């Protein structure tokens, strides 16, 4: 199927927060993972433009740093990249992917920039997993819930939504609003943060915040299972849970 696509907006990384720059001066893990943001964003921007020129079913992602794979050994190993690969293997044909996510993105970005872009792309599948940055940086709960409802209300009917990370009272309140809004539109919600497997230290990158390769594989599985993808066996655990190999940005 040849999709009639609107131009895909270019991805431009946001300036690194001053707090992260300062922490990176004393914590090598944060410095290492933060350094991935610019090249990973550029890689996905290139993938987006290729998708606009190609044909085949189209996956579009709304999200934040986890959608572009910050913390993984390569941007293609984000949960979005892994899901695209699994869909291609399931269907025996290439899936295109347009990833609208930016590292540090919050719900305002999802509603005001990413969602309008989705609506012009005629996707076959949309993944949406965003809001954790709003929780981390202390957005007021009522406003957070309102923004989540706005986002869910505007999503295409081909969307699969990922819940917010965390089990805090605020997180639980936000996820209730998310699930209630999704239920009104009969949109599925999966939990990409609760997959059984090795303990958290094996799932996190060197900054102890973003997922590593294993963490992203576990994130992708709930989305994939909802789409009929089978995952035999448990994912492999590396000897060094914090190891982040040099990224391969040549992948296509």
Query: Would residue 4 count as lying in a domain?
Result: no
Query: Would residue 231 count as lying in a domain?
Result: no
Angstrom distances, CA of residue 15 to CA of 37, 102, 146, 242: 10, 11, 27, 25
pLDDT band of 98, cuts 50, 70, 90: very high
Check: CB of residue 151 under 8 Å from CB of residue 116. no
pLDDT for 88: 97
Residue 147: domain span: 20-226
Looking at per-residue pLDDT, the higher value among 147 and 232 belongs to 147
Q: How many other C-beta atoms lie within 10 A of the C-beta of residue 169?
A: 9
| Stretch 64-87: mean pLDDT | 98
> Closest by alpha carbon to 133, among 144, 125, 121?
144
Query: Would residue 244 count as lying in a domain?
Result: no
Total domains in the fold of the chain: 1
> What is the domain-level CATH number for residue 115?
3.40.50.1110
Query: Would residue 116 count as lying in a domain?
Result: yes
Looking at per-residue pLDDT, the higher value among 57 and 233 belongs to 57
pLDDT band of 6, cuts 50, 70, 90: confident
pLDDT of 144 strictly over 80: yes
Residues 234/240/242/244 CA torsion (nearest 10 deg): -90
Query: Would residue 193 count as lying in a domain?
Result: yes
Burial class (CB in 10 A: 0-12, 13-18, 19+), 119: middle
pLDDT for 161: 98
Query: Would residue 13 count as lying in a domain?
Result: no
Percent of the chain with pLDDT over 70: 86
Cα separation, 188 vs 175, whole angstroms:
13
Cα separation, 52 vs 27, whole angstroms:
39
DSSP 193: T
Of 15-24, 122-131, 226-235, the range with the highest mean pLDDT is 122-131
Query: Would residue 97 count as lying in a domain?
Result: yes
Query: Would residue 3 count as lying in a domain?
Result: no
Sign of the alpha-carbon dihedral angle for 110, 213, 158, 252: positive
Contacts of 92 (CB under 8 A, 6+ apart): none
8-66 per-position pLDDT tens digit: 999 988 777 766 666 666 668 899 999 999 999 999 999 999 999 999 999 999 999 99
Check: CB of residue 72 under 8 Å from CB of residue 213. yes
pLDDT of 227 strictly over 70: yes
The string of DSSP letters for 100-144 reads ---TT--HHHIIIIIHHHHHTS--SEEEEE--HHHHHTT--HHHH
| Burial state string for 82-111 with b = 16 or more CB within 10 A and e = fewer than 16 | bbbbbbbeeeeeebbbbbbbbbbbbbebbb
Cα separation, 185 vs 170, whole angstroms:
23
Percent of the chain with pLDDT over 90: 75
């Amino acid at each position: 199927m040849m999709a009639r696509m609107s131009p895909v907006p270019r991805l431009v990384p946001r300036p690194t927060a001053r707090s992260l720059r300062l922490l990176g001066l004393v914590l090598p893990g944060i410095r290492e993972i933060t350094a991935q943001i610019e090249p990973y964003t550029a890689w996905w921007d290139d993938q987006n433009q290729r998708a606009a020129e190609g044909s085949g079913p189209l996956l579009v992602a709304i999200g934040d740093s986890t959608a572009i794979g910050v913390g993984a050994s390569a941007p293609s190993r984000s949960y979005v990249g892994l899901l695209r690969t699994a869909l291609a293997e399931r269907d025996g044909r290439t899936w295109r992917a347009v990833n609208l996510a930016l590292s540090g993105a919050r719900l305002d970005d999802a509603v005001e920039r990413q969602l309008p872009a989705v609506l012009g792309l005629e996707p076959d599948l949309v993944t949406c997993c965003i809001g954790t940055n709003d929780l981390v940086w202390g957005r007021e709960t009522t406003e957070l819930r309102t923004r989540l409802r706005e986002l869910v209300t505007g999503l295409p009917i081909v969307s699969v939504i990922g819940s917010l990370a965390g089990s805090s009272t605020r997180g639980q309140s936000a996820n209730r609003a998310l699930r209630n809004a999704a239920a009104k539109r009969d949109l599925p919600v999966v939990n990409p943060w609760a997959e059984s497997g090795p303990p958290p230290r094996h799932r996190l990158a060197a900054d102890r915040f973003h997922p590593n390769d294993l963490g992203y594989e576990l994130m992708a599985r709930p989305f994939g299972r909802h789409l009929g993808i089978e995952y035999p066996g448990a994912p492999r655990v590396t000897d060094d849970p914090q190891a982040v190999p040099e990224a391969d940005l040549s992948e296509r």
